[in-house]
Amino acid sequence: MNIDNIQAIAEDIKRMQAASPEELEQLRLKYLSKKGVIASLFGAFRDVAAEQKKEFGQKLNLLKQQAQERFDQLKEEIEAQKEKAEKQDLTRTCDSIALGTRHPLSLVKEEIINIFSRIGFTVAEGPEVEDDKHVFGMLNFAPEHPARDMQDTFFIEKEKGIQKPTDILLRTHTSSVQTRVMTTQQPPIRVLCPGRVYRNEAISARAHCFFHQVEGLYIDKNVSFADLRQALLYFAKEMFGENTKIRLRPSYFPFTEPSAEMDISCNICGGTGCGFCKQTGWVEILGCGMVDPNVLESCGIDSKVYSGFAFGMGVERIANLKYSVKDLRLFSENDVRFLEQFEAC
DSSP 66-117: HHHHHHHHHHHHHHHHHHHHHH--TTS-SSPPPP----HHHHHHHHHHHHHH
The predicted structure's pLDDT at residue 121: 97
Cα–Cα nearest to 313, from 277, 283, 287: 287
Residue 188 pLDDT greater than 90, yes or no: yes
Query: What pTM value is reported for the model?
Result: 0.68
Cα–Cα distance measured from residue 312 to residue 256, given in angstroms and rounded to the nearest whole number: 11
- On whether both 166 and 77 belong to a single domain, the answer is no
Domain for residue 93, yes or no?
no
The predicted structure's pLDDT at residue 251: 95
- On whether both 316 and 225 belong to a single domain, the answer is yes
Domain for residue 95, yes or no?
no
- On whether both 77 and 179 belong to a single domain, the answer is no
- Read off the pLDDT of each residue in 234-244 and give the average, rounded to a whole number: 93
Domain for residue 25, yes or no?
yes
Cα–Cα nearest to 285, from 317, 242, 325: 317
Among 117-131, 206-220, 322-336, name the one with the lowest average pLDDT. 322-336
Q: What is the pLDDT of residues 207-228, one digit of tens each?
A: 888 999 999 999 999 999 999 9
- The set of residues, in sequence order, having a beta carbon less than 8 Å from that of 125 and lying 6+ positions away, is 177, 193, 194, 195
Query: 299 falls in which pLDDT band (50, 70, 90)?
Result: very high
Q: What is the pLDDT of residues 52-65, one digit of tens each?
A: 778 778 888 888 88
- On whether both 74 and 117 belong to a single domain, the answer is no
Whether the CB-CB separation of 96 and 135 falls below 8 Å is answered with no
Residue 150 pLDDT greater than 60, yes or no: no
Domain for residue 20, yes or no?
yes
- On whether both 78 and 124 belong to a single domain, the answer is no
- On whether both 32 and 115 belong to a single domain, the answer is no
- On whether both 66 and 117 belong to a single domain, the answer is no
- On whether both 115 and 81 belong to a single domain, the answer is no
Domain for residue 177, yes or no?
yes
- On whether both 119 and 216 belong to a single domain, the answer is yes
Choose from 40-44, 85-89, 95-99, 196-200 the range with maximum mean pLDDT: 196-200
The predicted structure's pLDDT at residue 155: 82
DSSP bridge partners of 307: 220
Among 41-55, 98-112, 145-159, name the one with the lowest average pLDDT. 145-159
- On whether both 160 and 65 belong to a single domain, the answer is no
Domain for residue 324, yes or no?
yes
Cα–Cα distance measured from residue 217 to residue 282, given in angstroms and rounded to the nearest whole number: 25
- On whether both 17 and 116 belong to a single domain, the answer is no
Enclosing domain of residue 201: 104-342
The CATH number linked to 211 is 3.30.930.10
Cα–Cα distance measured from residue 321 to residue 326, given in angstroms and rounded to the nearest whole number: 9
What CA–CA distances, in Å, run from 177 to 26, 180, 182, 215? 74, 5, 9, 9
Domain for residue 94, yes or no?
no
- On whether both 212 and 332 belong to a single domain, the answer is yes
Residue 16 pLDDT greater than 90, yes or no: no
Beta strands in the chain (DSSP E): 122-123, 129-131, 168-170, 189-198, 210-220, 246-253, 256-265, 282-291, 307-314
Cα–Cα distance measured from residue 295 to residue 287, given in angstroms and rounded to the nearest whole number: 17
Whether the CB-CB separation of 286 and 252 falls below 8 Å is answered with no
Pairing mode, strands 282-291 and 307-314: antiparallel
Q: DSSP alpha helices (H): ranges in 136-278?
A: 175-184, 225-240
Domain for residue 30, yes or no?
yes
Cα–Cα nearest to 267, from 276, 258, 259: 276
Cα–Cα nearest to 29, from 45, 40, 19: 40
- The set of residues, in sequence order, having a beta carbon less than 8 Å from that of 248 and lying 6+ positions away, is 229, 260, 261, 262, 263, 288
Cα–Cα distance measured from residue 13 to residue 201, given in angstroms and rounded to the nearest whole number: 80
Number of domains forming the structure of the chain? 2
